[in-house]
Protein backbone atom coordinates (compact mmCIF):
# COMPACT_ATOMS: atom_id res chain seq x y z
CA UNK A 1 0.00 0.00 0.00
CA UNK A 2 1.22 3.50 -0.80
CA UNK A 3 2.27 5.70 2.09
CA UNK A 4 0.83 9.16 2.68
CA UNK A 5 3.68 11.71 2.44
CA UNK A 6 4.22 13.94 5.45
CA UNK A 7 6.17 16.67 3.68
CA UNK A 8 8.38 17.55 0.77
CA UNK A 9 10.73 14.81 -0.51
CA UNK A 10 14.41 15.09 0.38
CA UNK A 11 15.40 15.74 -3.24
CA UNK A 12 12.82 18.51 -3.72
CA UNK A 13 14.21 21.34 -5.84
CA UNK A 14 13.72 24.69 -4.11
CA UNK A 15 14.76 27.70 -6.12
CA UNK A 16 13.70 30.61 -8.24
CA UNK A 17 12.93 31.56 -11.82
CA UNK A 18 13.80 34.44 -14.15
CA UNK A 19 13.78 35.11 -17.89
CA UNK A 20 16.62 36.29 -20.08
CA UNK A 21 14.50 39.06 -21.62
CA UNK A 22 13.78 40.57 -18.20
CA UNK A 23 17.19 40.41 -16.54
CA UNK A 24 20.10 40.06 -18.95
CA UNK A 25 20.25 43.42 -20.68
CA UNK A 26 23.22 43.72 -23.06
CA UNK A 27 20.77 43.69 -25.95
CA UNK A 28 23.42 44.91 -28.40
CA UNK A 29 26.40 42.98 -27.05
CA UNK A 30 28.27 40.08 -28.67
CA UNK A 31 26.10 39.89 -31.76
CA UNK A 32 22.65 39.59 -30.18
CA UNK A 33 19.73 40.62 -32.39
CA UNK A 34 16.54 42.41 -31.37
CA UNK A 35 13.76 40.24 -29.98
CA UNK A 36 10.05 40.62 -29.38
CA UNK A 37 10.73 41.86 -25.84
CA UNK A 38 13.05 44.63 -26.95
CA UNK A 39 10.32 46.90 -28.33
CA UNK A 40 8.14 46.97 -25.19
CA UNK A 41 8.56 50.60 -24.14
CA UNK A 42 7.94 51.88 -20.63
CA UNK A 43 4.71 53.90 -20.40
CA UNK A 44 4.68 56.43 -17.57
CA UNK A 45 0.89 56.72 -17.98
CA UNK A 46 0.41 52.97 -17.56
CA UNK A 47 -2.92 51.83 -16.08
CA UNK A 48 -1.62 48.95 -13.96
CA UNK A 49 -5.05 47.51 -13.25
CA UNK A 50 -6.01 47.17 -16.91
CA UNK A 51 -3.12 45.73 -18.91
CA UNK A 52 -4.70 43.90 -21.84
CA UNK A 53 -1.58 42.75 -23.64
CA UNK A 54 2.20 42.83 -23.43
CA UNK A 55 4.07 44.72 -26.12
CA UNK A 56 3.58 44.26 -29.83
CA UNK A 57 1.47 46.49 -32.07
CA UNK A 58 0.93 46.84 -35.79
CA UNK A 59 3.72 45.92 -38.17
CA UNK A 60 4.35 49.62 -38.82
CA UNK A 61 4.50 50.34 -35.07
CA UNK A 62 6.96 47.48 -34.55
CA UNK A 63 9.25 48.77 -37.29
CA UNK A 64 8.99 52.28 -35.84
CA UNK A 65 9.95 50.98 -32.38
CA UNK A 66 13.01 49.34 -33.88
CA UNK A 67 14.17 52.78 -35.03
CA UNK A 68 12.95 54.70 -31.94
CA UNK A 69 15.84 56.53 -30.24
CA UNK A 70 13.70 58.51 -27.78
CA UNK A 71 11.66 55.96 -25.80
CA UNK A 72 13.08 53.83 -23.00
CA UNK A 73 12.84 50.07 -23.57
CA UNK A 74 13.52 48.47 -20.16
CA UNK A 75 13.86 44.88 -21.34
CA UNK A 76 16.83 45.84 -23.48
CA UNK A 77 18.68 46.64 -20.26
CA UNK A 78 17.14 44.42 -17.57
CA UNK A 79 19.26 44.43 -14.41
CA UNK A 80 22.51 43.82 -16.34
CA UNK A 81 22.56 40.14 -15.33
CA UNK A 82 24.71 39.55 -18.42
CA UNK A 83 27.56 41.12 -16.47
CA UNK A 84 26.48 40.48 -12.85
CA UNK A 85 25.37 36.84 -13.04
CA UNK A 86 28.19 35.54 -10.85
CA UNK A 87 27.42 37.89 -7.97
CA UNK A 88 23.67 37.37 -8.35
CA UNK A 89 23.96 33.58 -8.42
CA UNK A 90 26.16 33.75 -5.31
CA UNK A 91 23.20 35.32 -3.51
CA UNK A 92 20.94 32.50 -4.72
CA UNK A 93 23.50 30.03 -3.42
CA UNK A 94 23.50 31.83 -0.07
CA UNK A 95 19.74 31.30 0.14
CA UNK A 96 20.35 27.61 -0.46
CA UNK A 97 18.83 27.29 -3.92
CA UNK A 98 18.82 23.77 -5.29
CA UNK A 99 17.57 24.83 -8.72
CA UNK A 100 17.58 27.95 -10.88
CA UNK A 101 15.33 28.46 -13.87
CA UNK A 102 16.29 30.88 -16.60
CA UNK A 103 15.85 31.09 -20.35
CA UNK A 104 18.13 31.35 -23.31
CA UNK A 105 17.66 34.35 -25.55
CA UNK A 106 16.89 32.92 -28.99
CA UNK A 107 18.11 36.14 -30.62
CA UNK A 108 21.44 35.83 -28.80
CA UNK A 109 22.03 32.48 -30.50
CA UNK A 110 20.44 33.24 -33.88
CA UNK A 111 20.29 37.07 -34.11
CA UNK A 112 17.85 37.05 -37.04
CA UNK A 113 16.49 33.58 -36.40
CA UNK A 114 16.89 32.25 -39.94
CA UNK A 115 20.68 31.90 -40.06
CA UNK A 116 22.25 28.55 -40.85
CA UNK A 117 24.89 28.76 -38.11
CA UNK A 118 24.60 30.03 -34.53
CA UNK A 119 26.35 32.99 -32.96
CA UNK A 120 29.24 31.49 -31.03
CA UNK A 121 29.62 34.52 -28.75
CA UNK A 122 26.04 34.06 -27.56
CA UNK A 123 26.60 30.38 -26.83
CA UNK A 124 29.78 31.16 -24.92
CA UNK A 125 27.81 33.35 -22.53
CA UNK A 126 25.43 30.50 -21.74
CA UNK A 127 28.39 28.14 -21.39
CA UNK A 128 29.64 30.36 -18.60
CA UNK A 129 26.21 30.91 -17.06
CA UNK A 130 25.22 27.25 -16.92
CA UNK A 131 28.62 26.27 -15.55
CA UNK A 132 28.24 28.89 -12.82
CA UNK A 133 24.75 27.67 -11.91
CA UNK A 134 26.08 24.14 -11.53
CA UNK A 135 29.19 25.27 -9.67
CA UNK A 136 26.91 26.95 -7.13
CA UNK A 137 25.13 23.65 -6.52
CA UNK A 138 21.96 24.38 -8.45
CA UNK A 139 20.15 22.34 -11.07
CA UNK A 140 19.79 24.48 -14.21
CA UNK A 141 16.23 24.42 -15.55
CA UNK A 142 16.28 26.06 -18.95
CA UNK A 143 13.46 27.51 -21.02
CA UNK A 144 14.17 27.51 -24.75
CA UNK A 145 11.66 30.19 -25.73
CA UNK A 146 10.52 32.85 -23.27
CA UNK A 147 9.19 35.87 -25.20
CA UNK A 148 12.52 36.23 -26.98
CA UNK A 149 11.61 35.49 -30.61
CA UNK A 150 14.10 37.16 -32.97
CA UNK A 151 12.25 40.22 -34.27
CA UNK A 152 13.29 39.49 -37.84
CA UNK A 153 11.19 36.31 -37.73
CA UNK A 154 8.17 38.47 -36.90
CA UNK A 155 8.64 41.24 -39.45
CA UNK A 156 9.72 38.95 -42.30
CA UNK A 157 7.80 35.74 -41.66
CA UNK A 158 4.89 36.62 -39.37
CA UNK A 159 6.08 34.55 -36.41
CA UNK A 160 4.70 31.11 -35.59
CA UNK A 161 1.69 31.69 -37.84
CA UNK A 162 4.15 30.75 -40.59
CA UNK A 163 4.97 27.04 -40.80
CA UNK A 164 8.58 27.92 -41.67
CA UNK A 165 9.04 28.87 -38.01
CA UNK A 166 9.00 25.22 -37.04
CA UNK A 167 12.30 24.55 -38.80
CA UNK A 168 13.88 27.74 -37.44
CA UNK A 169 12.95 26.80 -33.88
CA UNK A 170 14.02 23.15 -34.22
CA UNK A 171 17.41 24.24 -35.58
CA UNK A 172 17.84 26.51 -32.55
CA UNK A 173 16.74 23.78 -30.11
CA UNK A 174 19.09 21.25 -31.71
CA UNK A 175 22.02 23.56 -31.07
CA UNK A 176 21.04 23.86 -27.39
CA UNK A 177 20.46 20.14 -26.88
CA UNK A 178 23.84 19.24 -28.38
CA UNK A 179 25.75 22.04 -26.67
CA UNK A 180 24.39 21.36 -23.19
CA UNK A 181 24.06 17.59 -23.28
CA UNK A 182 24.99 16.29 -19.84
CA UNK A 183 24.77 19.77 -18.32
CA UNK A 184 21.05 20.59 -18.59
CA UNK A 185 18.61 17.86 -17.61
CA UNK A 186 15.32 19.77 -17.41
CA UNK A 187 14.12 21.75 -20.42
CA UNK A 188 10.92 23.79 -20.77
CA UNK A 189 10.39 24.12 -24.50
CA UNK A 190 8.07 27.17 -24.56
CA UNK A 191 7.04 29.47 -21.75
CA UNK A 192 3.30 29.68 -21.00
CA UNK A 193 2.05 28.29 -24.32
CA UNK A 194 -1.54 29.07 -23.37
CA UNK A 195 -1.15 32.75 -22.44
CA UNK A 196 -2.85 33.99 -25.57
CA UNK A 197 -3.99 36.41 -26.80
CA UNK A 198 -2.46 38.38 -23.89
CA UNK A 199 1.10 37.61 -24.96
CA UNK A 200 0.51 36.41 -28.51
CA UNK A 201 3.20 38.83 -29.71
CA UNK A 202 5.92 37.66 -27.34
CA UNK A 203 4.92 34.00 -27.39
CA UNK A 204 3.83 33.53 -31.01
CA UNK A 205 5.20 36.56 -32.83
CA UNK A 206 1.80 37.71 -34.12
CA UNK A 207 1.36 41.44 -34.70
CA UNK A 208 -1.92 43.34 -34.43
CA UNK A 209 -2.75 43.78 -38.11
CA UNK A 210 -1.45 40.44 -39.34
CA UNK A 211 -5.00 39.36 -40.22
CA UNK A 212 -8.47 40.83 -40.34
CA UNK A 213 -9.98 41.12 -36.82
CA UNK A 214 -12.46 38.31 -37.47
CA UNK A 215 -9.59 35.96 -38.49
CA UNK A 216 -7.16 36.76 -35.69
CA UNK A 217 -8.36 33.93 -33.45
CA UNK A 218 -7.82 31.43 -36.27
CA UNK A 219 -4.35 32.83 -36.91
CA UNK A 220 -3.56 32.54 -33.20
CA UNK A 221 -4.59 28.89 -32.95
CA UNK A 222 -2.73 28.10 -36.19
CA UNK A 223 0.40 29.59 -34.64
CA UNK A 224 -0.19 27.54 -31.49
CA UNK A 225 -0.48 24.41 -33.63
CA UNK A 226 2.83 25.20 -35.32
CA UNK A 227 4.34 25.68 -31.87
CA UNK A 228 2.95 22.28 -30.81
CA UNK A 229 4.60 20.64 -33.84
CA UNK A 230 7.88 22.40 -33.15
CA UNK A 231 7.73 21.16 -29.55
CA UNK A 232 7.05 17.57 -30.60
CA UNK A 233 9.97 17.66 -33.02
CA UNK A 234 12.21 18.97 -30.25
CA UNK A 235 11.12 16.10 -27.98
CA UNK A 236 11.96 13.63 -30.76
CA UNK A 237 15.37 15.28 -31.18
CA UNK A 238 16.05 15.14 -27.46
CA UNK A 239 15.44 11.38 -27.43
CA UNK A 240 18.20 11.00 -30.01
CA UNK A 241 20.68 13.60 -28.77
CA UNK A 242 20.38 13.26 -24.99
CA UNK A 243 18.16 10.45 -23.67
CA UNK A 244 18.71 11.75 -20.12
CA UNK A 245 17.10 15.10 -20.94
CA UNK A 246 13.63 15.62 -19.48
CA UNK A 247 11.39 17.73 -21.70
CA UNK A 248 8.42 19.71 -20.45
CA UNK A 249 5.84 22.24 -21.50
CA UNK A 250 4.52 25.17 -19.49
CA UNK A 251 1.21 26.94 -18.98
CA UNK A 252 0.02 29.96 -17.06
CA UNK A 253 -2.77 28.64 -14.89
CA UNK A 254 -6.16 29.85 -16.05
CA UNK A 255 -8.35 27.65 -13.87
CA UNK A 256 -11.45 29.67 -12.96
CA UNK A 257 -14.35 29.36 -10.52
CA UNK A 258 -18.02 29.86 -11.42
CA UNK A 259 -19.33 33.21 -10.20
CA UNK A 260 -22.29 31.42 -8.64
CA UNK A 261 -23.96 28.02 -8.47
CA UNK A 262 -26.24 28.97 -11.36
CA UNK A 263 -25.98 26.10 -13.85
CA UNK A 264 -25.11 28.54 -16.65
CA UNK A 265 -22.10 29.85 -14.66
CA UNK A 266 -20.97 26.34 -13.74
CA UNK A 267 -21.19 24.98 -17.27
CA UNK A 268 -19.50 27.97 -18.89
CA UNK A 269 -16.69 27.78 -16.34
CA UNK A 270 -16.22 24.10 -17.13
CA UNK A 271 -16.03 24.88 -20.85
CA UNK A 272 -13.54 27.71 -20.34
CA UNK A 273 -11.36 25.57 -18.08
CA UNK A 274 -11.49 22.78 -20.64
CA UNK A 275 -10.21 25.12 -23.35
CA UNK A 276 -7.28 25.88 -21.04
CA UNK A 277 -6.65 22.15 -20.73
CA UNK A 278 -6.68 21.97 -24.53
CA UNK A 279 -3.06 23.14 -24.61
CA UNK A 280 -1.89 20.52 -22.15
CA UNK A 281 -4.13 17.79 -23.58
CA UNK A 282 -2.34 18.12 -26.91
CA UNK A 283 1.15 18.15 -25.44
CA UNK A 284 0.70 15.61 -22.63
CA UNK A 285 -1.91 13.27 -24.13
CA UNK A 286 -0.73 13.69 -27.70
CA UNK A 287 -3.91 14.56 -29.54
CA UNK A 288 -6.47 17.28 -30.10
CA UNK A 289 -9.47 16.73 -27.81
CA UNK A 290 -12.84 16.60 -29.58
CA UNK A 291 -14.23 19.46 -27.47
CA UNK A 292 -11.53 21.72 -28.96
CA UNK A 293 -12.24 20.52 -32.49
CA UNK A 294 -15.91 21.28 -31.91
CA UNK A 295 -15.01 24.76 -30.63
CA UNK A 296 -12.99 25.39 -33.79
CA UNK A 297 -15.84 24.14 -35.99
CA UNK A 298 -18.44 26.26 -34.19
CA UNK A 299 -16.26 29.37 -34.51
CA UNK A 300 -15.26 28.82 -38.15
CA UNK A 301 -11.61 28.20 -37.23
CA UNK A 302 -9.65 26.03 -39.62
CA UNK A 303 -6.40 24.55 -38.34
CA UNK A 304 -4.17 23.54 -41.24
CA UNK A 305 -2.35 20.30 -40.42
CA UNK A 306 0.11 18.50 -42.62
CA UNK A 307 0.41 14.76 -43.07
CA UNK A 308 2.24 13.29 -40.11
CA UNK A 309 1.38 16.05 -37.66
CA UNK A 310 -1.01 13.95 -35.60
CA UNK A 311 1.37 10.99 -35.45
CA UNK A 312 4.22 13.29 -34.43
CA UNK A 313 2.17 14.72 -31.56
CA UNK A 314 1.11 11.26 -30.41
CA UNK A 315 4.62 9.86 -30.33
CA UNK A 316 6.36 12.82 -28.70
CA UNK A 317 4.46 13.96 -25.64
CA UNK A 318 6.04 16.09 -22.94
CA UNK A 319 7.35 14.44 -19.78
CA UNK A 320 6.35 17.06 -17.21
CA UNK A 321 4.10 20.07 -16.88
CA UNK A 322 5.50 23.35 -15.61
CA UNK A 323 2.96 25.82 -14.24
CA UNK A 324 2.99 29.50 -13.39
CA UNK A 325 0.45 30.52 -10.77
CA UNK A 326 -0.31 33.97 -9.38
CA UNK A 327 -4.05 34.48 -8.93
CA UNK A 328 -7.50 33.22 -9.93
CA UNK A 329 -10.66 34.61 -11.50
CA UNK A 330 -14.36 33.82 -11.73
CA UNK A 331 -16.70 33.28 -14.69
CA UNK A 332 -20.11 34.86 -15.07
CA UNK A 333 -22.09 33.49 -18.01
CA UNK A 334 -23.75 36.87 -18.53
CA UNK A 335 -20.57 38.95 -18.43
CA UNK A 336 -17.77 36.78 -19.79
CA UNK A 337 -17.00 35.23 -23.16
CA UNK A 338 -15.05 32.14 -24.18
CA UNK A 339 -12.01 34.31 -24.90
CA UNK A 340 -9.06 32.93 -22.90
CA UNK A 341 -8.54 34.63 -19.52
CA UNK A 342 -11.74 36.67 -19.89
CA UNK A 343 -12.85 36.44 -16.26
CA UNK A 344 -14.21 38.66 -13.50
CA UNK A 345 -12.55 39.56 -10.21
CA UNK A 346 -13.41 37.45 -7.19
CA UNK A 347 -15.07 39.71 -4.56
CA UNK A 348 -13.82 37.42 -1.77
CA UNK A 349 -10.16 38.12 -2.59
CA UNK A 350 -8.09 41.26 -2.02
CA UNK A 351 -6.56 43.07 -5.04
CA UNK A 352 -2.99 44.19 -5.63
CA UNK A 353 -2.25 47.46 -7.51
CA UNK A 354 -2.18 45.28 -10.63
CA UNK A 355 -5.57 43.69 -9.79
CA UNK A 356 -3.98 40.27 -9.30
CA UNK A 357 -6.04 38.66 -6.55
CA UNK A 358 -4.02 36.23 -4.48
CA UNK A 359 -5.69 32.87 -3.91
CA UNK A 360 -3.63 30.18 -2.13
CA UNK A 361 -6.53 27.71 -2.16
CA UNK A 362 -6.77 28.24 -5.90
CA UNK A 363 -3.15 27.06 -6.09
CA UNK A 364 -4.15 23.82 -4.36
CA UNK A 365 -7.17 23.52 -6.64
CA UNK A 366 -5.36 24.02 -9.94
CA UNK A 367 -2.45 21.70 -9.12
CA UNK A 368 -4.82 18.99 -7.98
CA UNK A 369 -6.84 19.30 -11.19
CA UNK A 370 -3.75 19.04 -13.39
CA UNK A 371 -2.44 16.04 -11.48
CA UNK A 372 -5.77 14.23 -11.56
CA UNK A 373 -6.08 14.84 -15.30
CA UNK A 374 -2.57 13.78 -16.40
CA UNK A 375 -0.71 12.08 -13.53
CA UNK A 376 2.54 13.49 -14.89
CA UNK A 377 5.11 15.31 -12.73
CA UNK A 378 4.41 18.98 -12.11
CA UNK A 379 6.89 21.80 -11.67
CA UNK A 380 6.05 25.17 -10.17
CA UNK A 381 7.89 27.29 -12.70
CA UNK A 382 6.61 30.62 -11.35
CA UNK A 383 4.80 31.83 -8.25
CA UNK A 384 5.36 35.16 -6.56
CA UNK A 385 4.08 38.50 -5.34
CA UNK A 386 4.73 41.69 -7.27
CA UNK A 387 4.61 44.71 -4.97
CA UNK A 388 5.72 48.31 -4.47
CA UNK A 389 8.59 47.84 -2.01
CA UNK A 390 9.88 50.62 0.24
CA UNK A 391 13.57 51.00 1.05
CA UNK A 392 13.97 52.31 4.60
CA UNK A 393 16.56 54.92 5.55
CA UNK A 394 18.88 52.21 6.83
CA UNK A 395 18.56 50.28 3.56
CA UNK A 396 16.31 47.54 4.96
CA UNK A 397 13.21 46.32 3.14
CA UNK A 398 10.43 44.83 5.25
CA UNK A 399 8.32 42.81 2.83
CA UNK A 400 6.05 40.91 5.21
CA UNK A 401 3.33 40.95 2.54
CA UNK A 402 5.55 38.90 0.22
CA UNK A 403 6.41 36.43 2.96
CA UNK A 404 2.71 36.09 3.79
CA UNK A 405 1.81 35.38 0.15
CA UNK A 406 4.57 32.82 -0.35
CA UNK A 407 4.00 31.15 3.02
CA UNK A 408 0.33 30.55 2.25
CA UNK A 409 1.04 29.24 -1.24
CA UNK A 410 3.82 26.90 -0.14
CA UNK A 411 1.51 25.59 2.60
CA UNK A 412 -1.02 24.65 -0.08
CA UNK A 413 1.73 23.15 -2.20
CA UNK A 414 2.56 20.95 0.77
CA UNK A 415 -1.08 19.87 0.93
CA UNK A 416 -0.78 18.72 -2.68
CA UNK A 417 2.33 16.70 -1.82
CA UNK A 418 0.43 15.04 1.01
CA UNK A 419 -2.28 14.12 -1.51
CA UNK A 420 0.31 12.30 -3.60
CA UNK A 421 0.85 14.95 -6.29
CA UNK A 422 4.34 14.52 -7.75
CA UNK A 423 5.98 17.94 -7.74
CA UNK A 424 9.55 18.28 -8.92
CA UNK A 425 10.37 21.84 -7.94
CA UNK A 426 9.14 25.12 -6.50
CA UNK A 427 10.70 28.00 -8.40
CA UNK A 428 9.39 31.29 -7.08
CA UNK A 429 9.21 34.04 -9.64
CA UNK A 430 11.77 36.75 -9.62
CA UNK A 431 14.10 35.89 -6.73
CA UNK A 432 15.87 39.09 -7.72
CA UNK A 433 14.00 42.20 -8.85
CA UNK A 434 13.60 42.36 -12.62
CA UNK A 435 11.68 44.20 -15.34
CA UNK A 436 8.00 43.25 -15.28
CA UNK A 437 6.87 41.18 -18.25
CA UNK A 438 3.39 42.68 -18.37
CA UNK A 439 4.11 46.34 -17.59
CA UNK A 440 7.81 46.78 -18.47
CA UNK A 441 8.46 48.52 -15.14
CA UNK A 442 10.91 47.94 -12.30
CA UNK A 443 8.44 49.23 -9.70
CA UNK A 444 6.62 45.89 -9.69
CA UNK A 445 9.09 43.97 -7.56
CA UNK A 446 9.08 40.26 -6.83
CA UNK A 447 12.55 39.64 -5.48
CA UNK A 448 14.08 38.47 -2.26
CA UNK A 449 16.87 40.71 -3.51
CA UNK A 450 16.27 44.39 -4.24
CA UNK A 451 17.93 46.01 -7.24
CA UNK A 452 18.45 49.76 -7.05
CA UNK A 453 17.06 50.71 -10.46
CA UNK A 454 13.92 52.69 -11.27
CA UNK A 455 11.48 52.44 -14.17
CA UNK A 456 13.80 54.43 -16.43
CA UNK A 457 16.87 52.40 -15.54
CA UNK A 458 18.29 55.04 -13.21
CA UNK A 459 20.08 53.98 -10.03
CA UNK A 460 23.19 52.35 -8.67
CA UNK A 461 22.16 48.77 -9.48
CA UNK A 462 23.13 47.84 -5.93
CA UNK A 463 21.69 44.58 -4.58
CA UNK A 464 20.07 44.48 -1.11
CA UNK A 465 18.62 41.56 0.80
CA UNK A 466 14.98 41.97 1.82
CA UNK A 467 13.46 40.33 4.91
CA UNK A 468 12.05 37.65 2.60
CA UNK A 469 15.62 36.64 1.69
CA UNK A 470 16.21 35.25 5.17
CA UNK A 471 12.71 33.78 5.39
CA UNK A 472 13.10 31.78 2.16
CA UNK A 473 16.59 30.74 3.22
CA UNK A 474 15.04 29.13 6.30
CA UNK A 475 12.24 27.50 4.27
CA UNK A 476 14.83 25.80 2.08
CA UNK A 477 17.07 24.88 5.01
CA UNK A 478 14.13 23.08 6.70
CA UNK A 479 12.81 21.62 3.41
CA UNK A 480 9.55 23.47 3.84
CA UNK A 481 8.93 22.46 7.43
CA UNK A 482 9.27 26.01 8.77
CA UNK A 483 7.14 28.51 6.93
What percentage of the chain has pLDDT greater than the value 70?
100
Contacts 24+ apart (CB under 8 A), 416-419: 416/364, 416/367, 416/368, 416/371, 417/5, 417/7, 417/8, 417/9, 418/4, 418/5, 418/6, 418/7, 419/368, 419/371
**Has residue 2 been placed in a domain?**
no
18 within domain boundaries: yes
pLDDT in tens, 296-318: 999 999 999 999 999 999 999 99
| Cα separation, 49 vs 55, whole angstroms | 16
Q: What is the pLDDT of residues 333-347, one digit of tens each?
A: 999 999 888 999 999
What is the arithmetic mean of pLDDT over 129-135? 98
Q: How confident is the model at residue 50 (pLDDT cuts 50, 70, 90)?
A: confident
C-alpha to C-alpha distances, 320 to 246, 255, 393, 462, nearest whole angstrom: 8, 18, 45, 37
CA dist list (Å): 133 to 20, 98, 100, 227, 377: 14, 10, 7, 29, 23
C-alpha–C-alpha distance, residues 353 and 91, integer Å: 28
| Range from 47-51, 156-160, 227-231, 455-459 carrying the lowest mean pLDDT | 47-51
**pLDDT tens per residue, range 379-432:** 999 999 999 999 999 999 999 999 999 999 999 999 999 999 999 999 999 999
Give tens-digit pLDDT for 194-221: 999 889 999 999 999 999 999 999 999 9
The tens digit of pLDDT for each residue in 422-459 reads 999 999 999 999 999 999 999 999 999 999 999 999 99
- 282 located within any domain: yes
Cα–Cα distance for residue pair 303/222, rounded to 1 Å: 6
- Which pLDDT belongs to residue 468? 98
State the Cα torsion 432-437-442-446 to the nearest 10°.
Answer: -40
Number of domains in the chain: 1
pLDDT at 53: 75
3-state helix, strand, coil in the chain (%, to 5): 40, 15, 45
Asked if the structure places residue 96 within a domain, the reply is: yes
Q: Residue 56, by phi and psi: left (phi above 0), alpha (psi -120 to 50) or beta?
A: left
Express each pLDDT in 22-36 by its tens digit: 999 999 999 999 999
Domain extent at residue 292: 13-477
To the question of pTM greater than 0.75 for the whole model, the response is yes
Which residues have CB under 8 Å from 215's CB, separation 6+? none
Q: How far apart are CA 216 and CA 407, in angstroms?
A: 41
125 is a domain residue: yes
6 domain residue, yes or no: no
Could you tell me the CATH number of the domain that includes residue 60?
Answer: 3.20.20.80
Residue 262 lies in a domain: yes
Q: Which of 74-78, 283-287, 351-355 has the lowest mean pLDDT?
A: 351-355
First-residue to last-residue Cα distance in the chain: 30
| pLDDT of residue 174 exceeding 90 | yes
* pLDDT for 188: 98
Judge whether 178 lies within some domain.
yes
Amino acid sequence: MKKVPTGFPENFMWGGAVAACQIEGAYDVDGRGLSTSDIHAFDKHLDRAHIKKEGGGTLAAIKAAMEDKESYFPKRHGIDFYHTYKEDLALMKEMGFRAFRTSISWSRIFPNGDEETPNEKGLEFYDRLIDEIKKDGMEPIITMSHYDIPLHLVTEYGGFANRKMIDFFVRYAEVLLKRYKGKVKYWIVCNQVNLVPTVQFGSLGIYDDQAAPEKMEELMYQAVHNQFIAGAKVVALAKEIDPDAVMGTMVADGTAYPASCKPADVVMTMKKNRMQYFFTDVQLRGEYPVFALRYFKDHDICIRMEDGDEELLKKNTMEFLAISYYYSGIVDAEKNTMKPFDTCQNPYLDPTPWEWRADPLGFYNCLSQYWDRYEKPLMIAENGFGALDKVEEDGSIHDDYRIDYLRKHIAQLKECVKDGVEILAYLSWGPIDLVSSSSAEMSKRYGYIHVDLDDLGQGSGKRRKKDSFYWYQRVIETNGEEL
